[in-house]
Structure 1
């Protein structure tokens, strides 16, 4: 596939475009469809002046990209991170489009971000950044237009500030403008752990497809934040031995299986997995990726499995808790070695599924029990796994190709039915 639409694109965006091109070719959809789906529908870059606590003024840069709106309003997270780029946001918005289509959620893909490290700013400064960013993108967002959610560096408090800022401008309370809110402001039970629940459901199905029972299996989880922490907990509760975890500060290992509840208490006290008494440190954090385990869950950031280390990955199953943790080159290496890779658009779709549930509840002003949320989540994830695995088996392609084909096909079909205007 040519990449003429983005000749200077970053590697992460090139990966997303190549995946789209492969799916278009497999489905025989043609160049016009590829071009339509490769281009974001709408994107904006905004300037965010911030008055620091010391009275000085700093100007930050923010982005919001709406990749596709054919199947419904845009949906996607907002990340606050020092390395946010427009190409990264474009790629993540595209993957959100496929993710929503794959789990049959009536959204298109969106993504946003502000280029700054919130850990280096006071909470009051983060609030001012959030509110100014929200006011700048307010003409693009809304319950029926684009619905942000938490991502790296953001949380339910940031979502509350976004909702309040948008509502002040609209002149009424708009609970459905964001998801991932506090429960007292229209949030949903089960939302905090939804992505991890989805990862765990799919991981158990993927292990079973390789004849591996989750009970007694060995798992390594890279990342101990919003996704990794609860994934480790749920895997341990399902009977897996979580033998290694890591965070930005380092990695730890215990071949007999880590005591995950004790580890969580340690992290709550110290802020890191490092120094957990019932473990051994790994010399390098990335060593976790090449341990001899049944299941590897990269749940941190993009491109951690690449052509430099893919040959050393010993896991039999890789379930992508993070967005884009495996590069295109590494994907090919893992496929050649018969390592089963469950792609991010399937594996971590639990978050957008329960975000959809939250949006539905907020629009109806009627809330479900946690058991109802988790039961409906499990049903969606299992159905998406079955569809994807069946296509992968029947076509003889990887799960990533199968998932992308299913999603691209659904979006292309919606395009065809709506027609081209004018």
Structure 2
């Protein structure tokens, strides 16, 4: 059964999700104050246009049954159809999904991608379910939300706990219901099903582009500079690879099982092979064991938090020594930590800029699907680099002109673009 979530579902009161949503709204409030917008504009931009909560009955492989809960939040449509990932995590809450959908709206606007923001989530631990069970969950979730998605309505993509297989199942389920193949309903699909070359590593490439620009801004030469990467999943793994390929020393990485370090610089290709063989960075030959929280406090040139929200906060911000922080994850820095970093002159490249490479190449995939014409990997990567460079320059210019930190400048730019689109379109009726 599908239910429109007019009132918050019980799980939305869980503190972490509520905290993330409060952070997102705080950033929006700052931007609307800078822009001189009244409270009505703030309320319009702070409130999702549509959100649904669905129950997902699952028949386990052993014949038992359980019921999961899923959400889809469509935050804004002023600049185009909604766009945003689908995550599978035991920590999913409705408030978290609301916050992530809002950040997606700003991210799309900042990179001048003609989408609004959306996000989806299912409260499930994918590590505790078989591939067949995950397929059944995905197809049921897609069936429940199918009236709300589509190439011109809302286009899901992979996120934490989901991948190209998830997107293939979603695309197939939606297509079966429509009676014909609809490649553009999802992005991040396998290449053989209309996916784009370069999509799998796009977020990481964007993070690397911004990291190099941030280091240059601080007068730091990329070759030989040191980096620590928190998270070794879809974003962190390839970010570490691209940083190492550029000549940086990746001295520490972590995943959900632990952290490792080597002050000489980790052999990233060998580490990737180790992770493929063992499932974790832990136990990598020649590395030292490191406490996961200590990674965030290492004395490095670059810190890339590429895991989850809120890891840089009031409790550890004063101990962070990195010269630049480039956010691979969504919302890894709380407002309290941001204030500390401003005071300590630590450059922070915000998530809506730094990790926007994924949505940019998702847009490229959507365009290719609509045209049935596919670009080369070099074309995709050159177009991505151009978009990231323009966005970096725009944010830096706005920061200097308005005397703002990069996060505030990026949010102001994005909010202004969304608000202008809304005001030009007007209200109906």
**1:380 shift after superposition:** 0.1
Q: Deviations over 1:65-120 (max 9, x none)?
A: 00000100000000000010000000000000000000000000000010010110
Counterpart CA distance in 2 for 1:327 and 1:199 is 19
Task: Kindly indicate whether residue 411 of structure 2 is the aligned counterpart of residue 404 of structure 1.
Answer: yes
Task: Kindly indicate whether residue 382 of structure 2 is the aligned counterpart of residue 379 of structure 1.
Answer: no
**Residue 304 (structure 1) aligned to one of 267, 287, 311:** 311
Q: Deviations over 1:216-274 (max 9, x none)?
A: 10000000010000000000111111110011111111111111111111111111111
Residue in 2 that maps onto 1:190 = 198
**Residue 292 (structure 2) aligned to one of 285, 297, 300:** 285
**1:279 shift after superposition:** 1.2
Q: Secondary structure at the match of 1:59?
A: strand
Counterpart CA distance in 1 for 2:187 and 2:54 is 22
Give unpaired runs (5+ residues) of structure 2: 1-6
Let me know the Cα RMSD of the aligned residues: 1.2
Q: Deviations over 1:40-65 (max 9, x none)?
A: 00000001011111111111000000
**Residue 166 (structure 2) aligned to one of 144, 158, 161:** 158
Q: Secondary structure at the match of 1:164?
A: helix
Counterpart CA distance in 1 for 2:183 and 2:286 is 44
**Residue 336 (structure 2) aligned to one of 312, 329, 332:** 329
Counterpart CA distance in 2 for 1:230 and 1:205 is 18
Q: Deviations over 1:329-356 (max 9, x none)?
A: 1111111111000000000000000000
Task: Kindly indicate whether residue 276 of structure 2 is the aligned counterpart of residue 268 of structure 1.
Answer: yes
Residue in 2 that maps onto 1:254 = 262
Counterpart CA distance in 1 for 2:52 and 2:393 is 37
Counterpart CA distance in 2 for 1:343 and 1:100 is 14
Residue in 2 that maps onto 1:363 = 370
1:21-32 superposed matches below 5 A:
21-32=29-40
Q: Which runs of 4+ in 1 moved over 4 A?
A: 5-9
TM-score calculated relative to the size of structure 2: 0.96
Worse overlay, 261-270 or 190-199: 261-270
TM-score calculated relative to the size of structure 1: 0.98
Counterpart CA distance in 2 for 1:264 and 1:55 is 37
Counterpart CA distance in 1 for 2:397 and 2:265 is 33
Task: Kindly indicate whether residue 416 of structure 2 is the aligned counterpart of residue 416 of structure 1.
Answer: no
Counterpart CA distance in 1 for 2:95 and 2:335 is 16
Task: Kindly indicate whether residue 392 of structure 2 is the aligned counterpart of residue 346 of structure 1.
Answer: no
Counterpart CA distance in 2 for 1:294 and 1:181 is 35
Q: Secondary structure at the match of 2:219?
A: coil
Residue in 2 that maps onto 1:58 = 66
Counterpart CA distance in 2 for 1:217 and 1:56 is 53
The alignment covers a number of residue pairs equal to 417
**Residue 37 (structure 1) aligned to one of 21, 30, 45:** 45
Q: Deviations over 1:170-218 (max 9, x none)?
A: 1110000000000000000000000000000000001100101111100
Q: Secondary structure at the match of 2:227?
A: strand
Counterpart CA distance in 1 for 2:18 and 2:122 is 18
Residue in 1 that maps onto 2:181 = 173
Q: Secondary structure at the match of 1:276?
A: coil
**Residue 108 (structure 1) aligned to one of 116, 133, 145:** 116
**1:278 shift after superposition:** 2.1
Q: Secondary structure at the match of 1:300?
A: coil
Counterpart CA distance in 1 for 2:334 and 2:272 is 30
Give unpaired runs (5+ residues) of structure 1: none
Residue in 2 that maps onto 1:239 = 247
Residue in 2 that maps onto 1:140 = 148
Counterpart CA distance in 1 for 2:219 and 2:38 is 38
Counterpart CA distance in 2 for 1:157 and 1:297 is 27
